[in-house]
Amino acid sequence: MNDETARNLAGRALVYIAQEPERIRQFLAITGIGPAEIRARAQDPAFLAGILDHLLSDEAMLLDFAAWAEIDTSSVGRSRQFLPGGEATYTKEH
């Protein structure tokens, strides 16, 4: 796992969130950003970290995303450590 892999997973998570109107509404409401801002920030590592934080804050959504992406749920936590703020939040054992 590395930062490129983490950014790719966060990008997939953004696609997953955007595919369901209720998920994207919730994400926009929580983050306070608008739809146009997503495009502008989609490559920003801090924004990508926030996407993974959003998934990690909701177990049901995390489980659904993992099934959708065909990954183990622990991949999200491991990926998070490679994005800004991850070293302080998630241990290498995740």
Per-residue pLDDT tens digits for 67-90 = 999 999 999 999 999 998 877 454
CB-neighbour burial class of residue 59 (10 A; exposed 0-12, middle 13-18, buried 19+)? exposed
Q: What is the pLDDT of residue 86?
A: 79
- Can you tell me which residue has the tokens 């909701």? 58
Question: Would you list the domain boundaries of the chain?
Answer: 3-88
Q: Which two tokens stand for residue 62?
A: 């995390």
Q: Which two tokens stand for residue 81?
A: 């450590």
For residue 94, pLDDT beyond 80: no
Q: What is the pLDDT of residue 66?
A: 97
Average pLDDT of the chain, as a whole number? 90
More confident residue, 92 or 40: 40
Q: What is the pLDDT of residue 82?
A: 94
For residue 36, pLDDT beyond 80: yes
